[in-house]
Structure 1
Amino acid sequence: MTHRIKDVRKFLPYYRVARSEGFDDVVVFTPSNLNLNRKTVVGYRLKKSVWLKQTSKLPAICYDIGYYSSPASISKVRAIKQHPSVPFITYGLGNKWKIHQQLSRFPELNSCLIPTQVCDSPQALLDMALQHATIIIKPINGKEGKGILRLRRFADKFLLEQNDQPSVLLDETGLANLFAARFRTNRYLMQKWIDIRNKQGTVYDVRVLMQKNGAGSWTIAGMAAREGGAGRITSNLMDGGTPHPLAAYLFEQFRKKRAKKIIKRLTRLSPIVCSRLEESYQRRQAELGLDWAIDAQGHVWLIEVNIKPGKIPFRSVFPFETIEDGIRLPIQYARYVLEQELADSKVDLPAGKASS
């Protein structure tokens, strides 16, 4: 399932992997083309090397790779994923604040969670800015690093910074005006700024791609450092960032022994984060992208969790030679869900058909 189909041929890798993993067929469709009452879907199926738009029964298992922004599409997707006749391998987790709250329930993760609050009043903004020398303010439903601001305190003044915008110096009244103008009607989170500048003064973080395998277990599919562009306050690849092999990058920033300890900690914590989210939400997940900050002392902090992590931008550093390599594990997991978790269900579905 996806948000739009401009060129159905781009879904050929999904078809190839699904067929090689034992699925009989693949249907590519958008939420608007699924009819819950009739239990049918209008989508594209590959027949004799030609993609044909056809009406068919609901697929046995669904892989949602879409990005939905309009209220109508979000509502439709929510209804589909709540329906027992349409099982998915991954489900939504809510906004960044909800995810943070859920993870905060687990003491074993408290040491890696960044102090975070909702920016819901001028006083909350001021208190956070006074408590921490620097804070990050970001949209509660943001993605790709868009809309992120950094607020730095200098005595009784505050410097507001944003990519591609001139910095603004504010006093407490200016902070209140900022809240009224920008944060009153748009939900934002505030986080303590973790100093993630490298030795050259450029910001960077770490992306860990977690995927379920054919045995239903979490595995680390890739790890990479993301370095922001010169003068940027974020490291997102869609905003000029550059991916680097993690080990080599950390060896340049820390002593080798310290770098190895950091990687070991990331390797230990990442599966725990994923498992605790599944436990908390009681919903299966097939893949998650974890963004980690590493401060100058080598302590790791979880920045946020992405439910639909991009893979193509990391192909140069992840162990993926082809697009197929990046989607094989989730599709193997789909087969596992179909055969192990749904085998005894009473859902009347055509076994062996997958959707994308």
Structure 2
Amino acid sequence: MTRIGMLHYRQKPHHVTKAFAYAAAAKMHGSDFFYFSYTGIDFEQRRINGWVYQEGDWHQQDFPFPEVIINISAPRSSKQKAVSRALRLQIPFISRSIGSKLTVYNKIKKGRQFAGHLIPSRPIEKVEDVRSFLKDHPEAVIKPLSGRKGESIHFITRQENGSITWQTGVDQQTFPSDTWEEKVTGLLREKRYLIQPYIECRTKAGFSYDFRLHVHKNKEGRWQTALIYPRVSGTERLTSNVSRGGYRGELIPFLKEEFDREYYNIKQLLEYFAVHFAAHFESLYPGRSFDELGIDAAVDRNHKIWIYEVNWRPGSRHREFAIARHMIPYACYTARQYKSKR
């Protein structure tokens, strides 16, 4: 029976939906499971003060160190980061960072096999980088190197008179040359950004959409599809993130509506791409394994898949139990693999 620990920045599990889902999945799988945070860890005695779900409620008690750790959230402080590093030296974690958007882009490009599915991306160091990019790509997207949930994404279009149409969310404005340059300068003071050409992906009704390809490892450490679904803006927004006002559709009805008789071919294309890309992507990080990935992609008019971005902690809101059901067996697999190599 594998002893699994879930590490989270919250001190208590009562409002962490994933904690209940994973506790239930572990119970059905026959594994021991407890929740803990960054305090209450005794490295000398190898004991942790955590929480276990029993008889309909969470109960606090001491546990031996787990054999594997499910790290579903990033540490929030320097102290938590130090604790995380110390734990990693003794216990395997199932989730590993993939780096920034630009790191991911460069790795895929260097890996070559899926480089043709990349949307050309360049880091923005100064205003001139945006100006020169717009000469070749009149419609472009500016996004943070490190961002999530569609935050701080800006869509810009160069007009013939040199002005720029700038859209953030549903707000759209047109700026003359000198004003939009000041806006870019302001963005660069806040954080680092990259720029990409805008790839149009719209429904027949005119709404922006993309596909989330959610893949995870199974009990044998092999990649498989967890869920594929379309995300539709539902408004004038050009982003389709659910957290930014978009909605999640059902795959088959959506494909039938948008691709007619080709729907089944598109479904197979997405499923094949998801699993094979995940395996290739993991190979770009020697010595590192991932538990799940969220690949945001578009399908253009020629049925070519374009990769928007890759996420190493894809959201699973309202699907926590479905994901936990697969992650618990993978956590057990990770623990066995770790033991066999020691």
Q: Classify the secondary structure of the residue corresponding to 2:339.
A: coil
Matches of residues 1-356 of structure 1 in structure 2 within 5 Å? 1-5=7-11, 7-8=13-14, 10=17, 11-23=19-31, 25-34=32-41, 36=43, 39-47=46-54, 49-68=56-75, 70-72=76-78, 75-76=81-82, 79-80=85-86, 83-155=88-160, 156-165=162-171, 167-257=172-262, 259-281=263-285, 282-313=287-318, 315=319, 323-339=320-336, 341-346=337-342
Q: Does the CA contact (< 8 Å) of 1:103 and 1:273 recur in 2? A: no
**CA distance, structure 2, for counterparts of residue 77 and residue 229 of structure 1:** 43
Q: Which moved more, 1:7-16 or 1:152-161?
A: 7-16
Q: Classify the secondary structure of the residue corresponding to 1:105.
A: helix
After superposition, the C-alpha distances for 1:301-350 in whole angstroms (9 at most, x for unaligned) are 0111111112234x5xxxxxxx42221111111111222x123243xxxx
**CA distance, structure 2, for counterparts of residue 212 and residue 161 of structure 1:** 38
**CA distance, structure 2, for counterparts of residue 108 and residue 185 of structure 1:** 35
Q: Classify the secondary structure of the residue corresponding to 2:130.
A: helix
Identity across aligned pairs (percent)? 24
Q: Classify the secondary structure of the residue corresponding to 1:214.
A: coil
Q: Classify the secondary structure of the residue corresponding to 1:52.
A: strand
After superposition, the C-alpha distances for 1:140-192 in whole angstroms (9 at most, x for unaligned) are 11111111110111112211101143x22234323331222111341112111
Q: Classify the secondary structure of the residue corresponding to 2:237.
A: coil
**CA distance, structure 2, for counterparts of residue 48 and residue 184 of structure 1:** 52
Q: Which amino acid in the other structure matches residue 325 of structure 1?
A: A
**CA distance, structure 2, for counterparts of residue 278 and residue 254 of structure 1:** 31
After superposition, the C-alpha distances for 1:235-260 in whole angstroms (9 at most, x for unaligned) are 11112211112232122222422x33
Instruction: For residue 120 of structure 1, report the CA deviation from its aligned partner.
Output: 1.5
Measured at CA, do residues 135 and 6 of structure 1 come closer, stay the same or move farther in structure 2, by a change above 3 Å? Answer: farther
Q: Does the CA contact (< 8 Å) of 2:292 and 2:312 recur in 1? A: yes
Measured at CA, do residues 134 and 36 of structure 1 come closer, stay the same or move farther in structure 2, by a change above 3 Å? Answer: farther
Aligned length: 332
Q: Classify the secondary structure of the residue corresponding to 2:36.
A: coil
Instruction: For residue 291 of structure 1, report the CA deviation from its aligned partner.
Output: 0.8
Q: Which amino acid in the other structure matches residue 62 of structure 1?
A: I
Partner of 1:320: none
Q: Classify the secondary structure of the residue corresponding to 1:8.
A: coil
Instruction: For residue 27 of structure 1, report the CA deviation from its aligned partner.
Output: 1.9
Measured at CA, do residues 242 and 73 of structure 1 come closer, stay the same or move farther in structure 2, by a change above 3 Å? Answer: farther
Measured at CA, do residues 99 and 14 of structure 1 come closer, stay the same or move farther in structure 2, by a change above 3 Å? Answer: same
Gaps of 5+ in 2: 1-6
Q: Which amino acid in the other structure matches residue 178 of structure 1?
A: K
Q: Which amino acid in the other structure matches residue 180 of structure 1?
A: T
After superposition, the C-alpha distances for 1:257-292 in whole angstroms (9 at most, x for unaligned) are 2x3333222222212222223222231111111111
**CA distance, structure 1, for counterparts of residue 74 and residue 59 of structure 2:** 24
Measured at CA, do residues 78 and 115 of structure 1 come closer, stay the same or move farther in structure 2, by a change above 3 Å? Answer: farther
What TM-score comes out, normalization by structure 2 length? 0.89
Gaps of 5+ in 1: 316-322, 347-356
RMSD of equivalent CA atoms: 2.3
Instruction: For residue 38 of structure 1, report the CA deviation from its aligned partner.
Output: 5.5
What TM-score comes out, normalization by structure 1 length? 0.85
Q: Does the CA contact (< 8 Å) of 1:224 and 1:243 recur in 2? A: yes
Q: Which amino acid in the other structure matches residue 291 of structure 1?
A: D
Instruction: For residue 37 of structure 1, report the CA deviation from its aligned partner.
Output: 6.0
Instruction: For residue 57 of structure 1, report the CA deviation from its aligned partner.
Output: 2.7
Q: Classify the secondary structure of the residue corresponding to 1:301.
A: strand
**CA distance, structure 2, for counterparts of residue 239 and residue 254 of structure 1:** 26
